[in-house]
Amino acid sequence: AQTVTQSQPEMSVQEAETVTLSCTYDTSESDYYLFWYKQPPSRQMILVIRQEAYKQQNATENRFSVNFQKAAKSFSLKISDSQLGDAAMYFCASRDDYKLSFGAGTTVTVRA
Amino acid sequence: EAQVTQNPRYLITVTGKKLTVTCSQNMNHEYMSWYRQDPGLGLRQIYYSMNVEVTDKGDVPEGYKVSRKEKRNFPLILESPSPNQTSLYFCASSLSRRMFYEQYFGPGTRLTVT
């Protein structure tokens, strides 16, 4: 069984600044994948970034990067140079062979 | 265009009236899944299917049924809806159950049971 915990219900960031979203997970699997999804007001689920557990190198996608600490079971998301379009709810998720488990989400507000 | 479609997008119904939410994907994906999203709880898996005629329970299957008679379709059935099933529902699919395959999500169905 997997559990994913996001301890920050809401985060606010000034436009062009950086914000970091926290995520911890618990899994008994040795092989798994971690994801961050973005859900804008349209409700569409959009994959932001993924990390393979066996890779030590942190994944990066343009302004989005992760800090993956496998021993600590931590998987934080950093959004650099925040833009108004980054305002959304962000979900951390962990996937083993059969299921994708989600955290409760963090709502990100971007101040102009 | 590769996509997952759900119908209806919005539905208001009454307690006990059977309903079906359809899900269809055009990517020839083997794996399909249903989730419900509730405030403060994130998305929770209801049922999943690894291929035609192969389905299994997720974390919150009570009150729901599914079937997978064709590869492209995975309908969610509420035989006797209750107000606690008011939620936002997502269907998702991926090429395989293997974890490294991205799940593609449908646009969501907002269900209200009165």
Instruction: Assess contact for A21 and A35: CB atoms under 8 A.
Output: no
Q: Considering only CB atoms, which chain B residues are within 8 Å of A53?
A: none
Tens of pLDDT along A52-103?
Answer: 888 889 999 999 999 999 999 999 999 999 999 999 999 999 987 677 899 9
Nearest CA in chain A to B47: A99
Name the residue type at position A101: S
Indicate the residue of B44, B56, B99 with minimum beta-carbon distance to A96: B99
| Alpha-carbon gap, residue B37 to B88, rounded angstroms | 5
List, for residues A5-27, the tens digit of each pLDDT value.
999 999 999 999 999 999 999 98
Residue pLDDT, tens place only, B94-107: 987 676 678 899 99
Are the beta carbons of A43 and B108 separated by less than 8 Å?
yes
| Residue B101 pLDDT | 74
* Chain centroid offset of residue B104 CA: 12
Tell whether the model's pLDDT for residue B72 goes beyond 80: yes
The pLDDT assigned to B100 comes to 64
Cα torsion A59, B37, B108, A88 to 10°: value is -50
Question: If you search the block for the tokens 């102009």, which residue do you land on?
Answer: A112
Q: Closest chain B residue to A91 measured between Cα atoms?
A: B42
**Alpha-carbon span A4 to A74, nearest angstrom:** 10
Distance CA(A64)–CA(A82), nearest Å, equals 10
Write out chain A residues lying below 8 Å of B92, CB-based. 45, 100
Q: Chain B residues with CB inside 8 Å of A31's CB?
A: 99
Q: What is the pLDDT of residues B73-92, one digit of tens each?
A: 999 999 999 999 999 999 99
Q: A7-30: buried (b, 16+ CB within 10 Å) or exposed (e) per residue?
A: ebeebebeeeeebebbbbbebeee
Question: B88: which chain A residues are within 8 Å (Cβ-Cβ)?
Answer: 43
> A-B interface: how many C-beta pairs under 8 angstroms?
53
